[in-house]
Amino acid sequence: MTSPRLSTPFVTLGLLLGACSRTLDVPVMVPETLQQEFVPVTTCALSQHPAHEYVVTWVSKDAEAQWRSGKGPLPQGAVLVKSQYKDAKCTELARYTAMRKGPPGTAPASGDWIWQHVDRKRGVRQHGQLAGCISCHQVCEDEEYVCTWPGPPEPPASAPPPPLPDGF
């Protein structure tokens, strides 16, 4: 006969492992057809996020033109996805983080953005007003909480150098 004391840690461990594998029952913001429905707007780069993963950022096609203009606001329903990788070549997917622009009043404290943490199999692990996401994106409040906008356009490679000032 097994002692209840000995089986308790194993039962507890089993419950914990089961809880870790559950995902939330909400619509996932990262579609299986990510590469067809979204446009990559960054190349593989080291993230500024504390996890120091490598990321590729995607924007939903309905928001691409506005995103490329470099000025908000992005339209309601716009989704930004960050594919997060364990390696510098962005081949070993770790997870996704996504943010969707809701209707006015959805989340006034964060510009109406809702976040999701999604595992590599597209299971939603966290959803909503995620404090960790908001705390980082707060510094981009003036940019509509979006911290990845396009930089200024680079001059064409064949452009002549600027003229030297008088006296040189």
Structure confidence by residue, pLDDT tens digits, 74-90 = 999 999 999 999 999 99
Per residue in 44-102, pLDDT (tens digit) is 999 877 677 899 999 999 999 999 888 778 999 999 999 999 999 999 999 999 999 99
Residue 9 has pLDDT above 70, yes or no: no
Whether 127 has a pLDDT exceeding 70, the answer reads yes
- Helix, strand, or coil (residue 59): strand
Q: For residue 22, what are its two tokens?
A: 């559950």
What's the rounded Cα separation, in Å, for the pair 63 and 54?
23
Structure confidence at residue 116 (pLDDT):
95
Question: Would you state the pLDDT for residue 4?
Answer: 42
